[in-house]
Amino acid sequence: MLIPYTVEARPDTGLPNPKLGIWLFLASEVMLFGALFSSYILLRVSAPQWPRGSEELSVPLATLNTVVLITSSVTMVMAWAQLKMHNLARGRLYLWATVALALTFMVVKFFEYEHHFALGEYP
């Protein structure tokens, strides 16, 4: 049995199916994160005491991890662009940089949570 598939624009929306699918996915993500942030705000407002984040986690390590994540996003996009231009050597280089940044992220996470694990605090 063949599944009908087309990349032509739909007459009812004017969008091709792949683009419509991406927009539906993005809409579901907005709803998911909207619910998560709403729950966080509700819990924080209703709690009599809320610990300061800087007392619980290391701000420099969190900042480093943010920089690592943003940089890994850039290297992944650069790898994709190089592979699209059929530049396999540079594409591999950027992919390996992305893998190295992923490992860096995991090492920083280990040091960030090592203290909590020693205290018996687990997710």
pLDDT tens, position by position, 80-117: 999 999 999 999 999 999 999 999 999 999 988 888 88
Distance CA 2, CA 56 (A): 55
| Residue 98 confidence (pLDDT) | 98
Q: pLDDT by residue (tens digit) across 30-51?
A: 999 999 999 999 999 999 988 8
Record the tokens describing residue 109, joined without a space: 């996470």
Domain residue ranges in the chain: 1-50, 53-123
pLDDT at site 73: 98
pLDDT, average across residues 11-29:
91
Confidence check: pLDDT of 67 > 90 = yes
Residue 122 has a pLDDT of: 82
Task: Calculate helix-pair angle for 59-84, 88-118, nearest 10 degrees.
Answer: 160
- Its pTM stands at 0.67
